[in-house]
Amino acid sequence: MGMAEKRISVVCPWCSVGCRFYIVNVNGYPKKIEFDYDHDIRNHGKLCPKGVAAFQHLRHPDRLKKPLKRVGERGEGKFKEISWEEAIKEIAQKLSEIKEKYGSEALAFLGSERCSIEENYVLQKLARALGTNNIEYVCRMCQSTAVAGKGMVLGHPGLTNPFEDILKAKVIVLWGYNPAATNPVFFGQYIEKAILDNNATLIVVDPRKTKTAKYADIHLQPYPGTDLAIALAMLNVIITEELYDKDFVAERAEGLEELAKTVEKYTPEWAEKVSGVPAELIRKAAITFATAGTAALLTNEGVNQHANGTRTVMAITEMMVLCGYFGKEGVMSGAIPGAHNGMGAGLMGIGPHELPGRFPLHAEEHKRRIEEAWGFKIPEKPGITYVEMIDAILEGKLKALYVMGTNPAKALPNLKKAEEAFKNIEFLVVQDIFLTETAKYADIVLPAAAWFEKDGTAISFERRVQRSFKAADAPGEAKPDWEILVMLAKELGFGEYFNYSDADDILREINRIIPPLAGATPERLKKNLKGCMIPCPDENTEVPRLFVQGFLTPNGKAQLIPVEYKEPGEVPDEEYPFWLTNYRFVGHFHTGTMSHRSKSLSKRWPEEYIEINENDAKRLGIKDGDLVRVETRRAALVLRAKVTPHIREGVVAAPWHWDFNYLTTDVLDEYAKMPELKTAACRISKVEG
Amino acid sequence: MSKKIFIDFKRCIACKACEVACEMEHGEARIRVFEFPDLTSVAFNCRHCEKAPCMEVCPVNALSKDDDGAVVLDPLKCIGCLMCGLACPFGIPKIDEYNKIMDKCDLCAHRRAEGKLPACVSACPTEALKYGDINDVLWAREGKIVAELKDIGDRTNVLEAYLIR
């Protein structure tokens, strides 16, 4: 047999821009990637370092190849290989036993933004077939405040416009978001072109001077988590100086009077005291934003991951509403999920209070419709959220956790507490491509196929539904996640509800169950690599711009709900005088399960370091490259110091891809249950010797 | 016509996609991104000099120019004497420790043969790297300013706008 070389089109498995490229495979073995300049796709052929290295981790020797059963202590990572039959049988037996003994509420499931929509759909269906709504995914820790905040104001959390619109924006605001490092292709192909070629003004809100802030005309550097003060002061300026779009607000929003009354006291001078940003700069930013004519305002985890995140998102969204920047060309509003299918997983109903299609659990009509199609009842009681699951395990309420393609033992805040929970849970199953930190605690580990090793659909942050195709064979006995779940469902006696023989079967069911996805059929997505933007109610329709007619609130008007200031979850004091925050390296992804195992990436971004302002460093006698002890009320880490003028005084920052979350607090946002991941109070000292 | 990789320093965000793309093609990155304390960054590769010192000093004629003007190394002729590395004002040719011969950028000769762009240029998400003939690249970059000059006609304003930029 000759060397059959094939090029297969895939969606990039890292961030949520939705880049496509080819995997070149030789007889099922991935040989290299090739850039796609043939099609009209979002990345125009371009890729970031993670994209270029996207296949490196596929054939890493650490890949899981057979099901494993724990033989050592939890967390120790000692396992023996078992057969698929044994593994599935044991899981089914144990889940049934726990359900019998403690009730369905003792079971919980975690889905994944790294798996396809088909797989997340099957997982939540299985959880519900077992009688529980304890089903969650990591969106709770990245986007949930944006979903809640924008949901309350606009009725929909999605990115409002297609990427091209950013090229026409007069002002771009990047708030708590550093796309030059998190989404380089989106930055280079759209934002940078708008700035350098089309003279857009850039306003950046970030405590660090990032690669993105390098391009800023106005850079506001608040203390981490005090962004809400800036947003409220900008609202104050926009309202008191009457810079808002009066016609738009009169016609399409309600609640201006209440909002105006509330923000009256939040002057730029007040915000300066809270955030440390000069009042004049806040005023200048507000005026620049409000008078631009068209604006793109993009937020990310710098806004989202705080205990006051929902309030901040609401205030920022209300700025956009006041200025009438919705439903037009040349504007954009949205939060940018970290992972390539963050939006898709959520839409599948992976949420303790949500049905597929993001309908609330109490939406009776939809519930009945879905129950009828499925053939079984959806449990009534809302489930528990991600971070709250840890407390539920420690309290003995949650006995079994089934984890698909995600790594909570490294992603959760206050990791020592999380580790305690994983040590004490009665039964833990992890299904993944590597033996993650979480898998080391598991009773059974199941080897999953990686993204390029299966057909699947993902939804990018642009609301674009795209198909990715199987481009390589999975190693050993690893299987696609949906196939594993179907095997388990059959063993549990739910075979009739899970009668799928390929990913297309599942997608067709999704087309029937979730109306906004009715038109994203397998046939359409295979024919059209660029995909389609949801909502796509039929095969000929897609919706590039949201809110052209009205908002998706019950009465179609934006709700200008008054927001009061609230501090982030933990602020510095005498004992812990520094603000601690985190950031990402362009070459690493989340908990590093894949990127730390990618040779070209780990070589270039080998270790973490903590950024400290040069004046603070001088005061503490710390020189560049010294080892420093970073201590919070939860834990301490020893990191190398990077002395820099690019972070504001009083703030220190480290990347979160390593052990950062030992330091963070698990205080939650009251609306979205988002933990305070982006700031904590800490103290710094030089490690002598 | 001689083609080269041109670098727009203004657009580079130091993401190192070019380095990783080059490493994927050649096993070792032949382009390198240098970062400076003021956040500027420069991706730097072989300049494929018009009058290439490396070629002039090579005692065995292992270096030559191909049809696109790239300075390429013939691994069968190279004796690993390091002369090219010494002569290069940019320190580009490096010794391949395993094979004991030199290694340098050839503007992805194998990709150009298939009608593709060099890997670093293909990847660069911000288009800080451009591959082409100097006149085309310059015209693409400066053409906009010239068009503005023609369009507005008011030379003072345009000059001011240009200087501010």
Q: What is the DSSP string of A516-582?
A: GGTT--HHHHHH-TT-EESP--STT---SSSSSS--SSTTSSEE---------S----SSS-EEEEE
pLDDT classification of A689: cutoffs 50, 70, 90: low
C-beta atoms of B19 and A45 within 8 A: no
Of A188, A210, A205, the closest CA to residue A197 belongs to: A188
Chain A contact set for B24 (CB, 8 A): 32-33, 52-53, 600
With beta carbons less than 8 A apart as the criterion, state whether A678 and A669 touch.
no
Which of A48, A197, A644 comes nearest B15 by C-beta? A48
Q: Which of A455, A512, A446, A454 is nearest to A484 (CA)?
A: A446
User: In which residue are the tokens 């110091």 written?
Assistant: A641
**Considering Cα of A29, then A33, then A38, then A42, what sign does the dihedral take?**
positive
Are both B1-46+105-132 and B48-103 of the same fold? yes
CATH 2.40.40.20 fits A578-686, yes or no: yes
Residue by residue, DSSP assigns B85-132 as HHH-TT---EEETTTTEEE---S-HHHHHTTPPPHHHHH-TT--EEEE
Query: What six digits make up the tokens of A240?
Result: 């008191």
Work out the pLDDT band at A374, boundaries 50, 70, 90.
very high
* Å between B95 CA and nearest CA of chain A: 20
Residues of A in contact with B20 (CB under 8 A): 49, 52-53, 587, 600-601, 604
Domain ranges for chain B, please list them.
1-46+105-132, 48-103, 133-164
A602 to chain B, closest Cα gap in Å: 11
How far apart are the CA of A213 and the nearest CA of chain B, in angstroms?
Answer: 10
Is A214 part of the contact surface with chain B (CB cutoff 8 Å)? yes
Contacts of A51 in chain B (CB under 8 A): 17, 123
- Which of B10, B40, B123 faces A196 most closely, judged by CB atoms? B10
Contact A181/B at CB under 8 A: yes
Encode pLDDT of A513-536 as tens digits.
999 999 999 999 999 999 999 999
pLDDT of residue A226: 98
For residue B10, give how far its alpha carbon lies from the nearest alpha carbon of chain A (Å): 9
- Beta strand A456-459 with A464-468 is antiparallel
Interface check A46 vs B, CB under 8 A = yes
pLDDT bracket for residue A476 (50, 70, 90): very high
User: Is it the case that residue A294 has pLDDT exceeding 90?
Assistant: yes
How far is the alpha carbon of B30 from chain A, nearest alpha carbon, in Å? 13
The model's pLDDT over A249-280, given as tens digits with 9 standing for 90+, comes to 999 999 999 999 999 999 999 999 999 999 99
Domain ranges of chain A: 5-59, 68-140+340-533, 144-336, 578-686
Give the pair of three-digit tokens for residue A224.
């981490």
Average pLDDT over residues A421-440: 98
Check if the beta carbon of residue A525 is closer than 8 Å to that of residue A465: yes
Contact call for B20 and A600, based on CB within 8 A: yes
The predicted pLDDT at position A313 comes to 98
Q: Looking at residues A450-466, what average pLDDT do you find? A: 97
Cβ-nearest to A53 among B20, B40, B125: B20
Q: Which chain B residues are closer than 8 Å to A197 by Cβ?
A: 144
Contact at CB, B19 and A189, closer than 8 angstroms: no
Q: Which residues of A touch B16 (CB under 8 A)?
A: 49, 586-587, 604
The DSSP code sequence of A237-306 is HHHHTT-S-HHHHHHHEE-HHHHHHHHTT--HHHHHHHH---HHHHHHHHHHHHTSSSEEEEE-HHHHSS
Which residues in A lie closer than 8 A to residue B23 (C-beta atoms)?
A: 600
Q: To the nearest whole angstrom, how far is the Cα of B104 from the nearest Cα of chain A?
A: 19
Nearest chain A residue to B32, by CA: A604
Class of domain B48-103: alpha beta
φ and ψ at A492, to 5 degrees?
-80, -5
Q: Can you tell me whether residue A179 is helix, strand or coil?
A: helix
Among A509, A413, A408, residue whose Cα is nearest residue A124 = A509
The verdict on domain B1-46+105-132 having CATH code 3.30.70.20 is: yes
Q: Which of B21, B23, B39 sits opposite A214 (nearest CB)?
A: B39
Which pLDDT tens digit goes with each residue over A532-549? 999 999 999 999 999 999
Please give the pLDDT value at position B155. 52
Q: Is A237 on the interface with B (CB under 8 A)?
A: no
Does B20 contact A184 at a Cβ distance shorter than 8 Å? no
Residue-level pLDDT at A53: 96
H helix runs in A382-464, sequence order: 386-394, 408-411, 415-424
The residue that leads in pLDDT, A478 or B144, is: A478
Q: Are A159 and A333 in contact (CB under 8 A)?
A: yes
- Average pLDDT score, chain A: 97
With CB atoms and an 8 Å threshold, state whether A604 touches B14: no
Hey, of B31, B35, B122, which one would you mutate to test binding to chain A, going by the most A CBs within 10 A of its CB? B122
Query: Which carries the bigger pLDDT value, residue A421 or residue B157?
Result: A421
**Facing residue for A184 by CB, picked from B15, B24, B39:** B15
Please give, rounded to a whole number of angstroms, the shortest distance from the CA of B81 to a CA of chain A: 29
Residues of chain A neighbouring B128 (CB-CB closer than 8 A)? 188
For the question of an ipTM over 0.90, the answer is yes
How open is the CA angle A291-A295-A300, to the nearest 5 degrees? Answer: 130
Residues of chain B contacting residue A58, judged by C-beta atoms under 8 Å apart: none
Q: Please check the confidence at residue A400 and state whether its pLDDT lies above 60.
A: yes
Q: Flag the least confident range among A166-170, A334-338, B39-43.
A: A334-338
What integer pLDDT is reported at residue B156 of this predicted model?
Answer: 56
Q: Closest partner residue to A47 among B14, B17, B37, by Cβ?
A: B17
> What CATH fold (topology level) applies to the domain A68-140+340-533?
Rossmann fold (3.40.50)
- Residue A646 has its nearest CB partner, among B10, B39, B128, at B39
Render pLDDT for A14-35 as a digit per residue (tens, 0 to 9): 999 999 999 999 998 999 999 9
pLDDT band at A1 (very low <50, low <70, confident <90, very high): very low
- The answer regarding whether domain A144-336 maps to CATH 3.40.228.10 reads yes
Q: Which residues on A lie below 8 Å from B9 (Cβ)?
A: none
Give the nearest chain A residue to B33 (CA atoms).
Answer: A604
The arrangement of secondary structure in A5-59, i.e. its CATH architecture, is Single Sheet (2.20)
Taking 90 as the threshold, does the pLDDT of residue A619 lie above it?
Answer: yes
Q: How many CB pairs under 8 A join A and B?
A: 87
pLDDT tops 80 at residue B150:
no
Residue contact A45–B144, C-beta within 8 A = no
Tell me: the pLDDT tens digits for A628-661? 999 999 999 999 999 999 999 999 999 999 999 9
- Tell me which residue has tokens 């956040």: B39
The single residue listed with the structure tokens 């090739």 is A34
Q: Report helix, strand or coil for B164.
A: helix
